[in-house]
Amino acid sequence: MSDQGSADGAAVGVLEPGAPSFISYDPAGGGEVATFPETSAEQVRAVVGEARQAFAWWSGLTWAEREQRLRKWAGAITRGLDDLCELMHRENGKPRGDAFLEAFLAIEHIGWAAGHARKVLHPRRVGTGLLMANHAATLEYQPLGVVGVIGPWNYPVFTPMGSIAYALAAGNAVVFKPSEYTTAIGKWIVDAFDQANPDAPHQVLRLITGTGPTGAALCESGVDKIAFTGSARTGRKVMAACAPSLTPVLMECGGKDAMIVAGDADLAKAADAALWGAMSNAGQTCVGIERVYVVDAVKDKFVTELTAQIQKLALAPGEGPDAAYGPMTMPSQIDVVRRHIDDAIAKGGTVVVGGSGAVRAPYVEPTVLLDTPEDSSAVREETFGPTITVKGVRDVEEAIQLANATDYGLGASVFARRGGTAIARRLRSGMTSVNAVIAFAGIPGLPFGGVGESGFGRIHGADGLREFTRPKAITRRRYSTPFEPATFARHPKTFTIMKKYAETRYGRKK
Ligand code: NAD
């Protein structure tokens, strides 16, 4: 991060004695990872001002020049993967393998965004219709300016990258505030951009470190859009802070994803997917599977399969090479998980694996809850832990109805040998994988985002590029005709001709 001055005299990104700061910790051992300054509102505004100058330079580059710089960045991250994964393991707690998968996917997204920006956004001719045939019409997607990105801690590389890479590829400058739990990781990503582009005259990707108030200050700093990823609760605060200035927002919020297992599903594969979808990353996955609805006819077999597969999970807490998952990253989430398990049991749910004793901070062992009532918090609220509820249903119809009976709508999964895509279509979610779990996140061309409490707007794919642009419509009169409609000097027959046209085109009775 640059050592730039700000209006209040303090250097941005530099720890000043006595100035507000915060510490990020290793969630497994509790050791300190790093201390960062709490960036003040005034400093945030100064950084955004500098980013605006960087935007003037960056948006003036050609598509190819931006692509080249983004690819250099992807190269630097790739070459530094061992370092990055080690840091992710340390600051977030996830096993190195999970860190690698996350970082690999993020690199793929940089490549996709860089390689597709021109094709998706560059000026294109649009048909004019008969009335305006003497005009040429062009549509282009222009960058917004400075985009503020506020990130979460659970996927500290992959998730913000869905906004950062796409916003940069579209020609914007970015000011990034990572989660206070994973700030060292955020700084690593930003530093890699600068190291890969030492000749850049401006820093087009800027880091600001801080907790909630710094995020709030970014919302009020005059940025041209906020791309927020986090809880719906904080998302509401972000929207409220952006409302006075009509700053547009992208909301990537939580989920309560369901898996439907049909009677003809491959149960071993469904159980494997449910397990990975629910337990990987210690269940701290926005598109993690939290609920399974399985058709009664195969429920017992599915539960037996799931239980057998859980026994094979090596839960060597975080450190071992075979560790399935690590500690809970955010200490306060452990209480939420405990509350959900206890509530499920109190309301009559059956513990198949784990249960109340599974919560042993900072770890939570896998927990499977059977036939938990639909009004329990384990079914209604985002748990964000390695737990899963399994409920038997009459048929796929009932499964769809229950899967959709949530305020969230982020991802979903369907296991069925026949008709899986038709079921997927009827699920109220932004993304659904058939006979797989979370597959959509690994396909950069697909948009990613939710409905309802899960938010709105899209990262990834062509929609993710357009999300960070404004469509600009341009017309150019190529020649004049005697029948121009938009002039007081209109030919008296203009409307007669237009009426004839409308009657011929639309007025005939079928
Ligand atoms: P959070 O809402 O607590 O914090 C998210 C970010 O907002 C952090 O950087 C935080 O510092 C910042 N923040 C806090 N208060 C703020 C304020 N008043 N104004 C502006 N910024 C503020 O979320 P979290 O615990 O970091 O992340 C977990 C949540 O994120 C889960 O709900 C998860 O499902 C969701 N998530 C969603 C996606 C997605 O793509 N939809 C991806 C990952 C995580």
Domain shared by 99 and 245, yes or no: yes
Examine the residue annotation and report whether 503 is marked as an active-site residue of this protein. Answer: no
CB 438 within 8 A of CB 411: yes
Q: Answer whether residue 360 is part of any domain.
A: yes
Same domain, 230 and 280: no
pLDDT at 316: 56
Asked whether 155 lines ligand 1 (CB < 6 A), one says yes
Tell me how far the alpha carbon of residue 252 lies from the centroid of ligand 1, in angstroms.
Answer: 9
Q: Tell me the residue ranges of DSSP E strands in 128-283.
A: 135-143, 146-150, 173-177, 205-207, 225-229, 249-252, 257-261
Same-domain pairing of 250 and 266: no
The pLDDT value recorded for residue 149 is 98
In a domain, 363, yes or no: yes
What's the confidence (pLDDT) of residue 8?
Answer: 55
Predicted local distance difference test score (pLDDT) of residue 32: 96
Q: What is the pLDDT of residue 9?
A: 55
44 and 159 part of one domain: yes
Q: Are residues 395 and 320 in the same domain?
A: yes
**Nearest to residue 414, comparing CAs of 285, 324, 291, 281?**
291
User: For residues 115 and 462, what is the distance between their CA atoms, to the nearest angstrom?
Assistant: 11
Residues 203 and 285 in one domain: no
The whole-angstrom separation of Cα 149 and Cα 177 is 6
Q: Which of 91, 102, 252, 382 is catalytic?
A: 252
Which domain CATH number covers 396? 3.40.309.10
**Which pLDDT value is given to residue 317?**
56
Domain enclosing residue 213, as ranges? 39-254+461-470
- Quote the number of domains for the chain: 3
Q: What is the pLDDT of residue 4?
A: 47
> What per-residue confidence (pLDDT) applies to 314?
66
d(CA 414, CA 430): 14
Treating both helix axes as pointing N-terminal to C-terminal, what angle do 81-92 and 183-196 enclose, rounded to 10 degrees? Answer: 160
55 and 194 fall within a common domain:
yes
Active-site choice (91, 219, 286, 453): 286
Tell me which residues of the chain have a pLDDT lower than 70: 1-10, 314-322
**Do both 263 and 207 map to the same domain?**
no
CA proximity to 314, closest of 324, 304, 302, 301: 324
Residue found under tokens 């229950």: 402
Span from the CA of 228 to the centroid of ligand 1 (angstroms): 7
Tell me, yes or no, whether 153 lies in a domain: yes
The pLDDT value recorded for residue 320 is 61
242 is catalytic: no
| 412-415/205-207 β-pairing | unpaired
Q: Ligand 1 pocket: which of 157, 166, 229, 406 to mutate (most atoms <8 Å of CB)? A: 229
Q: Are residues 223 and 301 in the same domain?
A: no
Does 169 lie in the same domain as 92?
yes
C-alpha span between 181 and 174 (Å, rounded) = 20
The CATH number of the domain holding residue 188 is: 3.40.605.10
- Long-range (24+ apart) CB contacts under 8 A made by 393-396 are 393/293, 393/294, 393/295, 393/296, 394/295, 394/296, 395/263, 395/295, 396/260, 396/262, 396/263, 396/295, 396/423
Beta bridge partners of 212: none
Residue 25 domain flag: no
Q: Which residue has the CA at smallest separation from atom 9 of ligand 1?
A: 179
